[in-house]
Amino acid sequence: MPELSLIIPAYNESANLPLLLDRAAAVFTGSPIELIVVDNGSTDTSPAVLAQLIPQYTFARTVRVPINQGYGFGILSGLRAAKSPFLGWTHADLQTDPGDALRGLSLLKHSGHAELTFVKGKRYGRPPADVFFTAGMGLFETAILQKPLWDINAQPTLFTKSFFDTWNNPPHDFSLDLFAFYMARKQGLEVKRFPVNFGKRAHGISRWNVNWQAKVKFIRRTVDYSLTLSKQLRKPPQ
C-alpha cells in the first residue's frame, strides 16, 4: 500500500492532464505515492483523456464526479476514496510542481509525531498584487478565527488520515483550504511550511483568479464561511 494518496481535482483540464501525468511519472515512479486524479464533473474531453492515459501510469487512478459541486467536493471525493495513512492534495494546473508532495511527505514522516503534524507549502514567485491580496486575507482570517493563518491556499497540503477522520461537515468550495488549515490549528497540530515555486498555468485560465471581480466574489464567499466558523468558535460547549 502506498504511504501517501495525493489528490488532484481537475475540472476541464484536458490540455493539462497529459503534462501533469508525465511530470508525475518523472517524480513519482518508484515512490510510495499514489496519484488520485478526480475528474470533478468536467464538461470537456477530460473523461476521455483520463480513460486513455491513466492505464499507462501504474501509480495513478481516477475518481469521477458526475456533476461539478465545487473544488472542495472534488478533493473530498478523492480523500474518501484514498486508503493511505497519509493524505494530501495539490492543483492540476501545474502552477505548483506535483513533486513538491515528496518534500512535504518527508517533512510529515520525519516530524517524529506525524499524527500531530500538518504540512503545507509556502508560495514564492507570485506577482506582488497577489502577494498583497493573500497577506490581507491571512490577516483577516487570523483576526476573525483567532488562529495564525497565512498563505491559506498554498499547495501541497498534507496530513494523516486520522486527522481527516476528525473532520465534520467540511465545505465543498474553495473554503476547504481554510477549513483544513483552521482545523489543524484548532486541534493544536504542529504546522510545518516549506517553500514552493508558484508559476504560471500550463494551459487555460484560473477558475477564480481571472480578474478583480472574480477576486471580490472569492472574498465574499470566504468571508461568509469565515463568519460561520467564527460563530461556531463562540458557541458554548454543549
Q: What is the CATH number of the domain that holds 163?
A: 3.90.550.10
Predicted confidence at residue 129, as pLDDT, reads 87
Per-residue pLDDT of the chain (238 residues; tens, 9 = 90+): 899 999 999 999 999 999 999 999 999 989 999 999 999 999 999 999 999 999 999 999 999 999 999 999 999 999 999 999 999 999 998 889 999 999 999 999 998 899 999 999 999 999 898 899 899 999 999 999 999 999 999 999 999 999 999 999 999 999 999 999 999 999 999 999 999 999 776 655 555 555 667 767 777 888 888 888 887 765 554 4
Predicted confidence at residue 201, as pLDDT, reads 62
For residue 14, count other CB atoms closer than 10 A to its CB: 18
Query: Structurally, how many domains does the chain consist of?
Result: 1
What residues make up the domain containing 104? 4-234
Predicted confidence at residue 205, as pLDDT, reads 56
